[in-house]
Chains A and B, each alone.
Chain A
Amino acid sequence: MAHAPDSSTERPAILDKVRPAELPRPPLILNDRGFHWITDKVCGIVEEETPLWWKIMFGVALFVASFTFIGLAYLVSTGTGTWGLRSPVGWGWAIVNFVFWVGIGHAGTLISAILCLLRQKWRTSINRAAEAMTIFAVMCAGLFPLFHVGRVWFGWWLFPLPNQNGIWVQFRSPLEWDVFAVSTYFTVSTLFWYMGMIPDLGAIRDRATTWWRKAVYSLLAMGWRGGNRQWSNFEMAYLLLAGLSTPLVLSVHTIVSFDFAVSNVPGWHTTIFPPYFVAGAIFSGFAMVLTLMLPLRAIYRLHDVITQYHIDNMCKIILATGTMVGYAYATEFFIAAYSGNAFEKFAFVNRAFGQYAWAYWIMVSCNVITPQLFWFKKVRENHSLVWIICLFVNVGMWFERFVITVTSLANDYLPSSWGYYSPTIVDIFTFFGTFGFFSVLFLLFVRFLPLLPMAELKMVSPQADPHAR
């Protein structure tokens, strides 16, 4: 710099005239709600009398969850043959469900970690519930790869435990990478979630009126007092964990995609899988967040905290990732044609026009076509429609995993071995039950833990910014 002009004297007068009008950022909390309101609102959910709808839902969820556990008991006692698997389709619904649930488990950590690093303040309204969703979805996901093995009682052999036989796990296997990727993801996500909750747990503790609430929440709050030093440490730890989680968001689904991409099955063996899977995971994850948050918003009257702006943002992310997924579908076709590899070509043409064409077109219409409605503001503002579209996205993403897993295996290299896979009732019930299992956990979360991060909400509320206009 040659010389810095004195701002007070040499400032061109024109600047004041052309100064652009400042676009007001939409407030993240509406109706001028104060801190106290936020505390009352969030703690009120935990402190109120257990509502009837919760009791009913919880009962239903428990019943549905039992389907999974009965299915798994039958599976373990009798054999993998109780599922619809056959030669050549060695992976069926179990792996489809695994990838589906892991995909759903992506939004939470993305919201809490990546959006945190990117200083997207709107994330605070949804991140707690989304993180809870992540953890519960990963728990549902984890059931499937564990129980899909033929001899689940030897599942611990997947861990590199020293043993006298000198047998070690196979580190070249993507399934082994999965073991580490998913367990790391689960551990870090849980830590992140729990750590972020500590100040809020402290608030609930402080408001507790019964001795047992006090005891339990004291334990959970780990002695949080809200002192400056604690806040300083908390912020730093939160930032560090966000940094640690960020690569995990990308790595988990990348590694899950390696289960397919590292193999040599036509239709699986594609380099596009990691970004494509991650985009799909965020896509399905946000759809699931909306699926869960819209009813909660309505039930608990959270309209001032979860605003149209939040919903708009999430819809736009769904639109963006949905389009990416659609682009990936197109790219797969292009690469297959461009490769000149007859088996690859067949695999993709067969996907779209072969025996599983019905699944493929369900996938395309749900994942590529439906989200395009989010281009329209009117659609984004119609919450019933948003909710329905998100359901479609969830269905579509389940079918995406089905299409990838099953169609590729059913028709690969040797036509002599081609087959057709259909699930059995045990497959269906086991999957169906995981929604119950998920709901049980999520309902418990809603009832007993702070649904929204109070402290963080206060930080982004207009009241927290004394300089705000």
Chain B
Amino acid sequence: MTLSLVVLLPFLGAIAAPLFAQGGRTAIAIASSVPALLALATLFPMWGTLAEGGTIVQSLEWLPQLGINLSFRLDGLSLMFALLILLIGLLIILYARYYLKPQENVGKFYALLLCFKGSMLGIVLSSNLLLMMVFWELTSLTSFLLISFWNHKQDARRGARMALAITGGGGLALLAGILLIGRIVGSFELDDVLAAGDQIKAHALYPYALTLVLLGAFTKSAQFPFHFWLPHAMQAPTPVSAYLHSATMVKAGIFLMARLYPALAGTEQWFFMVSFTGMITLLIGAYVALFKHDLKGLLAHSTVSHLGLITLLLGMGTELAAVAALFHIINHATFKASLFMAAGIIDHETGTRDMRQINGLWRYMPHTATLAMVAAASMAGVPLLNGFLSKEMFFAEALSLNLPGIWAWIPPIVATLAGIFAVAYSARFIHDVFFNGKPRNLPIYPPHEPPRYMKIPVEILVVACIMVGVFPAFSVGPLLQAAASATLAGEVPDYGLAVFHGFNLPLMMSLAAFVGGLIMYSQRQKFFDFHARFREVDEKAVFEAVVSWLVEKARGFTALLENGSLQRYTMLLMVSAIAVAVVPLSGMALIGSNGLTAIDPPTALGAAILVFCTLGTVYIHRERLTSLIMLSVVGLLVSLTFARLSAPDLAMTQISVEVVTIILLMLALYYLPSWTPTEASAGRRNRDLIIAGVAGVGMTLVTLAMLTSPFSSISDYFLENSKPGGGGTNVVNVILVDFRGFDTLGEITVLAIAALGIFAMLRGRELSAPPTDGQGHPWAFDAHPTMLKQMSRPLLPLALMVSVYIFLRGHNLPGGGFIAGLVTAVALLVQYIASGVNWTQARVSMRYHNVLALGLFFATATGAGSLAYGYPFLTTTFTYLDWPVVGKFEVASALVFDLGVYLTVVGATLLALVSLGKLTPAGRPLTRTEARKES
């Protein structure tokens, strides 16, 4: 897996590099260049295979479900890009060593740079489209961090976020496109995809796939209309700009188009989308570049325009054009990188990049000037420099593009026009900066040559420009050949890499461009004035405005939906429940096959009262005390209903729960306002009435239909096994403690948690009790009426006895731990009410936490007991004892379980209500008698 190593090395370096940060900039620079050197060493031996057009694919299965594998591929194309990335990367590392100031966070810088390098290598070397996707987005993220390296600058932050949004967003589109391709081909491996070109182009999804992929490529390569992020990425430190915008980041999109050339190119859609986008970008970039006063701004826009040029070439769809595109990629990378570095040096030495200030630097830094001028000349397309060659090819292709009629003229004209602009801004770069009078109030004066080594990268690149320009075939011939054959996935047309092709039309165009450009530059003031008429739009501001607009709108929208009104949320819940139920229920028979049974008068009366009180509770719900009394009647009648309908246990439970609940609500009402104000509008009330009405009617009908339809359940089993299996005749109780004991365990846990929750919730909270009730009457004559005291105290032992009785009989007759527990709790509560918290606390010396914990313990322990005998949790056993007085009765392990229930109930109920009773530490308010004493 040597190729994966090439990708991995930079990332490892990124982890290692910061460790050298203490060693100073030189140390870390050396450390950071190791990965690249190793990578080059790894790639070198593979050249042999590639030279004769072979490819190397190394694959490792990763996620077959997704069709994503760790497979890497080295062919001419990927090699060409890998070399650009690695070599220019090395120069950048050297350059940055001198560019960065010692006090800056060098470790972070190099770490990020290496991460970025690794991601780029990943893109060009991946043989699996999804794997490439991973690295693609990684470059977006790492470049985000690189551009925002100086994150204290607002412009840097914004530029970075803009770049991330555009490229990252484009990446998502690309992802969709790749997935579509995967759908069509049935694999994400490049070999398969490139082989399936015809299949893809024929497929119905091709237009979508193409569009999405191109969206990804265009956003990354700053094609119109997504070009604007690139110039703003210039907020990055210059080494970053030089790297990202010459050789790497922005070339990723180009690479993608070249990579998928065999799979996607060669159709009408491809031609129009790509070539026209390229054409527009080419022009706009070139035009704007001329008017940028910022050195890097000029270079950035020229980059945009050159990317457009390459895109246009790829779009033309002819093989020669593709070759030209590849060639220009190399050339642009070399001269643009050197120019950026030169700009950086100038910035470094003068403290500004504004060409209106920087003039006549020739006098101060002739060496740098020479280098910059050569590079700029190459950018302009001056003969004997590499820029010239690829531009010639471009012109030739523009001419040979046989479009119908008048259209045939457009490409050559556009090309020449762009050429003119290019010459003009290159001329400006040279003349404005190095000649054109004296510098005007430079921050750093006088400027002088940079450190020796800072110039070396520039020199190397400039030499490369000349080498390629003079001996193209010798210098880049083989590489270009390999790259071309890889891109075209087949025969490469013979193209002449000669410096001079004779006096042909392309040469004429270059000449025209040259002359025109110089004229334009000489007349630049006119153009500046013309351009000044249009208002400059700062895309960063626009982007920011858009984002904050989005945020604002989103905030408004959210506040609209999530308005913090419980009533709305509850309404939504109820309505959705009704909505989903209405549809199926509409088809239901109203009365089932069993029909209705007669009702006896007392029951009917009871039902009538029950309904009446229910509606009454609603009707007078504003007078809370009255409605509470109504409510208690309802509860009472409900328990009677249970009794009437042969559910004694439920009746007893309901009634005891009822008592405690009402006490609780009474207590609550003591602190709450005693009446409810009218707030809701009539409309709101009617809405609620309708919702509630529908729910009520619905439940009535459902119940009716259900009750009248036949039914068979698993319950016979319980009736049969209750006595023999569970050892109890009260089936309900046996179910609770035995058949479904686990439910009960959960149930008492709920009770315990509730009590703890209440205790925790009221911790440290105080509610001053209102001195009088809602109507302004003092509460009572006496806090603890003697009558009540005297009555309640003997009640306690009685009640305890009763609860013991209920508890013991529970297994065979209505009763059981829960009811018993509540009775005990109520008995104790009465003491609290009658004699006050302090009095009772003094006598009832138990910590209710422990009681309920003990209860849970008993329940669990009983359950676990059976484990010892190899039986599952909660398996019960029982035997019969015969005691003299009590007579024959039965001890079931379930009884211990029920004891747990009992204890939990007592502990929980008391813990809850007592902590509520303690809510007013100041004690109760004055009673009437005391009030009289006071006055």
| Pair from one complex | no
Q: Which residues of A contact B (CB under 8 A)?
A: none
Q: Which residues of B contact A (CB under 8 A)?
A: none
